[in-house]
Amino acid sequence: MSMFRFAQPGYPEEDVKPMREELEAVGATSLRTAAAVEEAIVGQKGTALVVINSVCGCAAGGARPGVSAALQNASIPDAIYTVFAGVDKEAVGKARELAVGYPPSSPAIALFKDGKVAYMMERHMIEGKMPDQIAEELAAQFDKHCSKPGPSIPTEKFSSLRFVQVCGSQLAAKAKRLAAGKA
């Protein structure tokens, strides 16, 4: 155990709102508390996708657009949720706790079946991949584990979506300034 403790700044909601809304636009429900995550996953029958969203580049350039495209598949999860690392800290902590056997990472994408992880796409599996590669991998898992007919939103609406391309390091610097009272 390290003798060092590092503060992890939270990101202001207004900065992450467009990134959160990308997943909400394709049918995800944002979970903000540990209790909400537990209620959505624990003891539930069927499939649930939980996206641990993030401000990092691999979330912007791969995870969010990849998840969005995967939800255009013929089979999709029964429920779609998202929690935001650095913002929904309690909710993220509970989602990570429920992903038994996987180390914390963000972004990350967990497919739960009957309350247990059926598939996990960790950050190292997202980094360096294009959205279509992520979508293809997730769609294969949806075909394997899910029976709800897709897509999550009409094709025309999906075609009109635009994804936020923001460098997370700029937001991290802003969050540190705010935490230090130097906004």
Q: What are the catalytic residues?
A: 56, 58
Is the CB of residue 82 less than 8 Å from the CB of residue 20?
Answer: yes
In degrees, rounded to 5, the angle at the alpha carbon of residue 105 between the alpha carbons of residues 4 and 115 is 125
Residue of 118, 11, 117, 121 whose CA lies nearest to 66: 121
Chain centroid to CA 27: 12
Other beta carbons within 10 angstroms of residue 31's beta carbon come to 24
* Residue 35 φ/ψ, nearest 5 degrees: -60, -40
Q: State both tokens at 173.
A: 């610097």
Rounded Cα distance, 150 and 111, in Å: 16
CB crowding 155-168: b at 16 or more within 10 Å, else e: eeebeeeeebebeb
